Amino acid sequence: MPDLVEPLTYAFVQRALIGATLVGVVCACVGVFVVLRGLAFLGDAVAHIAFPGVVVAFMAKTDLVIGGSIAAVAGALAIGLVGRRSGLREDTIIGVVFSGMFALGVVLFSSIRTYTGDLLGALLGDVLGISNEQLFLAAGTAAIVIAVLFLVWKEIVFVSFDPTGAAAAGLPVTRYDSLLLVLVGLAIAISIQIVGVVLVVALLVTPAATARLLARTLRHMLAFALLFAVISALAGIYASYYLNTASGGTIVLVATALFVVVWVIRALARDRAA
């Protein structure tokens, strides 16, 4: 049995555990809607769209999360706007915007002639390198995302479940859709430090998808998603500490393992019931 206390003697591990749990909770809350509305591809796209923002922030010597947040939120809103105005399918718009913006990030990245270690962290995640300032920024952003989401929870549920009925009841459906995209963008931006651009969609989708396998009500789905997100964050950090593996990737692997276990157990239970 590994010593669970020993890693806690290191401040960087404490920060990593708090940071990973924080973004896990935010991503689980937002991820419930990402999964139910089939927005996983959008989530992946927004994460990649955040990358040029992170690179520009690096070049401008400002906080990478702020740069990523601006790019992610702007990208999410741009996809929604172009999707509504162009008449093209949303996945097509996402494909165009996502690849174009990520290409911009790659070109900007390649033009930097100085040390780019922090940017590699943004691509692949570096939760063990999270600073106190980054943690406070992530905590503030997380508090805003969660507070706003719960304030408009019933409205977002209504416009997601029955957009036509919600519009007929007088709810501004487009505004609530845009607000959800902003929340997704912010959740992604603060998660990039933990798991990186490439894997951030897993934090949004996997715990919520695992929860969907078990839950019959939205409240239960949220509770399960939070549980799986926190387990993934804590177990992932501890496992990466003892196995000396990349923390972001390990967190995602734990989340994926939980999904597989729940899916297999559910399938076996259904076979037995049939």
Residues that bind other proteins (CB under 8 A): 36-37, 87, 151-152, 154-155, 157-158, 160-171, 212, 215-218, 220-221
Please tell me the distance from the alpha carbon of residue 207 to that of residue 25, in angstroms, as a whole number: 10
Task: Report, in Å, the least distance between residue 152 CB and other proteins.
Answer: 6
Task: Report, in Å, the least distance between residue 186 CB and other proteins.
Answer: 19
Which is nearer to other proteins, 7 or 163 (by Cβ)? 163
Which is nearer to other proteins, 37 or 74 (by Cβ)? 37
Please tell me the distance from the alpha carbon of residue 234 to that of residue 119, in angstroms, as a whole number: 24
Which is nearer to other proteins, 167 or 257 (by Cβ)? 167
Task: Report, in Å, the least distance between residue 220 CB and other proteins.
Answer: 7
Which is nearer to other proteins, 66 or 215 (by Cβ)? 215
Q: How many CA atoms lie within 13 A of 129 on its CB side?
A: 15
Torsion angle (degrees, nearest 10) of CA 229, 235, 236, 237 = 110
Task: Report, in Å, the least distance between residue 184 CB and other proteins.
Answer: 18
Task: Report, in Å, the least distance between residue 24 CB and other proteins.
Answer: 21
Task: Report, in Å, the least distance between residue 142 CB and other proteins.
Answer: 19
Which is nearer to other proteins, 130 or 149 (by Cβ)? 149
Please tell me the distance from the alpha carbon of residue 172 to that of residue 152, in angstroms, as a whole number: 12
Which is nearer to other proteins, 160 or 210 (by Cβ)? 160
